[in-house]
Structures are given as structure tokens and as C-alpha cells.
Amino acid sequence: MNKKEMIAMLLAGGQGSRLGILTKQIAKPAVMFGGKYRIIDFPLSNCINSGIDTVGVLTQYEPLLLTKHIGIGIPWDLDRRTGGVTVLPPFVKGNEGSWYSGTANAIYHNIRYIDEYNPKYILVLSGDHVYKMDYSAMLEEHKKNNSDATIAVIEVPLDIANQFGIMNTNEEGRIVEFEEKPEHPKSNLASMGIYIFTWDVLKEALIKDNKIHEQSDFGKHIIPDMIESQKNVFAYRFNDYWRDIGTIDAYWKANMELTHTVPVFNLYDEFWKIYTNIEHQLPQYVGEKAVLQQSLVSEGCEIYGQVYNSVLGPKVIVEEGAVISNSIIMSETIVRRGAHLETCIVSEKCDIGENTQIGIGENVPHINKPHIYSTGITTIGDNTIIPGDVKIGKNCEIGGHTLKEHYVNGNLESGQSLVM
């Protein structure tokens, strides 16, 4: 019988709706970050770097790209004879199937997968965050405290603590109260969505809770219930780089931070490498008239134009005369001659036409979705074609194959959507 000390379950089924058009066809964990990476690369790499070789990835929303990216786990060394990575989509049971209706519900549906490995502990992760963390150190803490559950926490500024799940702890680190997005937070210790459970305790809780709550959730049900029933629930303090990149603005800022001369997040660490699935490890070519400053540029890019303060994914082509500033351009996008891109996010496999200008004009929040697009960043979804000689404002949302006639007088005013 298999016997793994700890296996990981990675919740990767969420849409990440606050990332707007970026997650229209791509699950949030598969969204590219830092040039060549996808968000899920961070927890997956952390797993293998922490010595965890069995990872179940729970997918649900738009799983195509995610499943293809993970494959059999070769880039993360997770192609194993026992264990390794397993993609776990929702499935049909008997005559009826059901979607994963909550974070704990998703794990509940996969109890059989977990039992297959007979683990003592289980690590629950989400595919939404960018950080480097040694889960084995957290497990040591969990064992030392003889915990039933250990929750990784990070200090956040008190004034934004109301956006997080806040843990109130006593002096020995035991969690005495958990408040989801409290109006008046009593502490600034935010849950990072990283949990270690002793498996038999969690299994029992999952079975019990799924009888009560249809949308069984860790933050809403499992954790508060464990605290209430006097289980040993401890906080594990983490005080290194960690970013929740759930909004367009946070996503853009976290990328921009990487372009700083000495970035807060070190991707150059030889002993904690972040791995990703990239087909070919091509070099990149910088042409005769190119200007490249304060930027990250990935494999296989060809740069003939000007790039300032930007992050470029693999195989991006920037033609001569094109100017890109303060922007994120994802893989296999082409920015044609004379195009000007200012403060925008362009997803994968896009085509930006000649002399088109993006990110100009007034900073008007999006007319229908101000909660998504309001900080001046224009966002372009994957596989989008934008014709030449059009002018596009700020806080715009564009997706699909757009034609010149879709732009009124060749313009898309700030705060407008154009999704085909």
C-alpha cells in the first residue's frame, strides 16, 4: 500500500472573474505571470522544491490550457511512478454528476484519490498566488504543535485587512477566531489560502460538513467549525514575498515590480527554481534599432522596436517602430510596426495592428465593470486581433477578432468594451 507522508491538493478550478477578459477563456491559475510563467507554476514548483511529489490539481473552469500546461508534470519533475501530478476534474457518479460547488466540496469529491496514497497530512493550496514557500517547514510546525490544522498567514496593512480572511490568534499562535472579510478586523494576520490538515481529522470534517452545506468551503465552514469544536488550529506566519494577484491592478503591479533593478521577488534563485512548461528554450534576438529598458523578456522574443518597463512572454515579436511602455505582453503576441502600447495587458496570441495606439486619453473607469477596470489599464484577451490605425483609450476591454469597422471613427473611447 502506498504511504506518502503528505500530498498536496491544488485548487485550480476558479475563474478569477476579477481578472476580467484575461480569464474569459483561461482559468486563473493558467494566466501567465512574470513573462514565461503561469500562476500555477509557483505552487507546483514550491511543492517539488519542498519535497512533495504527489499533487492533485482540481480543475473545473476552462481547464483546456491548464490541463495541457500540466501534462504529466515533466517540467516540475512530477512525472512519477507513484504519485506525481494528477489532474482531477469533476466527474459523474452513478447517474448524476455535479460540479465542485466549494473549495472543501472539491476535496470531498476526491477523498478516494487521497486515500489511494494513504497520507498522514494533506496540504491544500490554491492556484491564485505568487510566492516561494517551503511547505516542509510548515509541516514541521504542524507536527510540533500537534495540530489538526495549520493555516499559513501573512501580515497585511490593517486598512486593507477587511479584504482578507483574518485570523485572530492567542500568544502561542493558536487560532481562536476566524473572520472572513471582517468590517472591523481585530488583527492583520491574513489567511494565505494555504492549509495543512491531519488527513483523518479533515476527512471526518469533510464528510460531516458536506452533509450540512451544499457548497462546503474551507474559509466559510471547515475552518470556523474546527476552531469552534476546539480542534488544534494554528497559524503559521510567513513573512516573505506573497502576492494575491486577483485583480487587474494587483496583477499588473506584481508584474511591474519584477522589472525593478533589484526586484522584491527573486526569480534567479538557483536553489528554489520556478519551473514552467515551455515548449522550446529559444534564445531571443534584439535587433539593430531596438531599445530595451527596465524590462523582462522571455525565450524566443524578437525585438526590433522599443520596450520600456514591460514584461514580455515567450515568442513575442515587437516590430520596428513599435513602442511598448508599462505593459504586459503575453506569449506569441505580435506588436506590429508603429503601434504604441501604454499601460496595458495583452494576453496570449494577439495581433496588434500597425500604428494602432492603445492606452491613450482620459482615465475613465469602465462603464459597466468599474470594479474590474478602473486604474487606467486597458486589457486585451487572448487570441485577439486589433486592426491597424485605431486609437484605444484607457480601462478598455477588447477580445476576439475585431475589425476596423467595429471602432467608431477608428476609436474606442476609454472605459468601453469591444468583445467579439
User: Which of helix, strand or coil describes residue 84?
Assistant: strand
Q: Determine the distance from the C-alpha atom of residue 378 to the mean position of all C-alpha atoms in its chain, rounded to a whole number.
A: 19
With respect to another protein, which residue has the nearer C-beta, 138 or 278? 278
Considering the complex, what minimum distance in angstroms separates the CB of residue 116 from another protein?
Answer: 24
- Residue 151 burial (CB < 10 Å; 0-12/13-18/19+)? buried
With respect to another protein, which residue has the nearer C-beta, 208 or 253? 253
- Label residues 340-363 b or e (16+ Cβ within 10 Å = b): bbbbbbbbbebbbbeebbbbebee
Site for another protein (CB under 8 A): which residue of 201, 250, 267, 360? Answer: 267
Contact flags string 308-347 toward another protein, x per CB under 8 A: ---xx-----------------------------------
The contacts of residue 118 (CB under 8 Å, 6+ apart) are 1, 2, 3, 4
With respect to another protein, which residue has the nearer C-beta, 156 or 312? 312
Beta strands 397-399 and 378-380, pairing class: parallel
Cα–Cα distance between 12 and 125 in angstroms, integer? 9
Give 204-213's long-range contacts (Cβ < 8 A, gap of 24+). Answer: 206/104, 206/107, 206/108, 206/111, 207/108, 207/111, 209/104, 209/108, 210/104, 210/105, 210/108, 213/102
Q: Is 172 in the site for another protein (CB under 8 A)?
A: no
All cell numbers assigned to 179 = 473572520
Considering the complex, what minimum distance in angstroms separates the CB of residue 294 from another protein?
Answer: 5
All cell numbers assigned to 412 = 474606442
With respect to another protein, which residue has the nearer C-beta, 113 or 272? 272
Site for another protein in 202-261 (CB under 8 A): 259, 261
Q: Is 165 in the site for another protein (CB under 8 A)?
A: no
Q: Is 273 in the site for another protein (CB under 8 A)?
A: yes
Considering the complex, what minimum distance in angstroms separates the CB of residue 172 from another protein?
Answer: 39
Within 13 Å, how many C-alpha atoms sit on residue 106's CB side? 25
Considering the complex, what minimum distance in angstroms separates the CB of residue 138 from another protein?
Answer: 24
Contact flags string 3-42 toward another protein, x per CB under 8 A: -------------------------------xxx------
Considering the complex, what minimum distance in angstroms separates the CB of residue 299 from another protein?
Answer: 6
With respect to another protein, which residue has the nearer C-beta, 15 or 284? 284
Contact flags string 71-110 toward another protein, x per CB under 8 A: ---xx-----------------------------------
With respect to another protein, which residue has the nearer C-beta, 259 or 416? 259
Site for another protein in 274-303 (CB under 8 A): 274-276, 278-300
**CA quadruple 233, 184, 188, 152: dihedral, nearest 10:** 30
Site size toward another protein (CB under 8 A) is: 39
Site for another protein (CB under 8 A): which residue of 112, 212, 268, 405? Answer: 268
CA-to-CA dists, residue 295 to 292, 309, 316, 362, 390, angstroms: 7, 5, 13, 26, 26
Beta strands 189-198 and 149-155, pairing class: antiparallel
In DSSP terms, 398 is beta-bridged to 380, 418
Which stretches of the chain bind another protein, using CB under 8 A?
34-36, 74-75, 259, 261, 267-268, 273-276, 278-300, 307, 311-312
